[in-house]
Amino acid sequence: MTRIAVLQMTAGIDPEANAAAIESAITQAKAGGAVMLFTPEMSGMLDRDRARAARSISAEADDPVLNRVREAAAREGLWVALGSLALDNGDGSWANRSLVVNGQGEIVARYDKIHMFDVDLDSGESWRESRTYRAGERVVTVETPVGRLGLTVCYDLRFPAFFEALGRAHCDVIAIPAAFTVPTGEAHWHVLQRARAIEASAFVVAAAQVGTHEDGRSTYGHSLVVDPWGEVRLDLGDGGATLGFADIDSTRIDEVRRQIPSLANRREIAN
């Protein structure tokens, strides 16, 4: 058994305040026996006002939230899967970037969100992530204390071919940090998370944003840990920001893959 911690946040528009919340969670996660902390999408700042947000967007090397997380990770000797940060690419575009920081404070993996959230909901919410963010182009996995970790961000959840690629990479755990809207969360969050865990025969760790944010948006919460059989091992609900713990059992992965070897049974399908 390997213990992890999952941070559910109500991130605001002030990066310093968000960084302080993550630093506190790193300390609590270590004290609680975790070897790795998972945080949500846009952990550093959640602000739909692009002009205001631009004043706080930095290049990766200069990002104050990332630097504070690296320092805290090194101080506590804890790995951190930093769900994502908005970072400046230096060409007028931003990246929605997930980063993995090891227990020495070193960045060991980077993944830029591939699937852009461009939607119009019947609730009246409209989002055009592609207007500001440059999409990533490659699948990323990394060896961690919880096994081989596959990186995704939020809207990636809806694209099964992406998770098939992570399954072929034999991921033990897949991180799906998110800032899901309330209408889409109520309809699809749990069923999609469980389906992706089953398809990849892997644990899914989905740290999420929750509640009403300073920029006026509302997010669904319900940060989850789902095992390879599709059983929910942790659900942090929608009551607010909190820290939860769960155990990643590698024998459970082996057990499920032995019973239903869907990854080994996969066949190419001709068009």
Catalytic residue among 23, 30, 76, 154: 154
- What token pair was written down for 259? 């019973």
Task: Give the DSSP H or E segment for 44.
Answer: none
d(CA 12, CA 52): 12
Cα Rg of the chain, angstroms: 17
Distance of CA 255 to the CA centre of its chain: 25
What lies within 8 Å, CB to CB, of 107 at 6+ separation is 70, 99, 100, 101
What lies within 8 Å, CB to CB, of 42 at 6+ separation is 11, 83, 84, 85, 86, 96, 179, 209
Q: Which residues pair with 212 in a beta bridge?
A: 218
Active-site residue flag, 41? yes
Catalytic residue among 41, 76, 171, 199: 41
User: What angle (nearest 5°) sits at the alpha carbon of residue 48, between those of residues 47 and 52?
Assistant: 65
Active-site residue flag, 154? yes
Burial of 271 (0-12, 13-18, 19+ CB in 10 A): exposed
Catalytic residue among 76, 113, 171, 199: 113
Give the residue numbers annotated as catalytic, written as ranges. Answer: 41, 113, 154
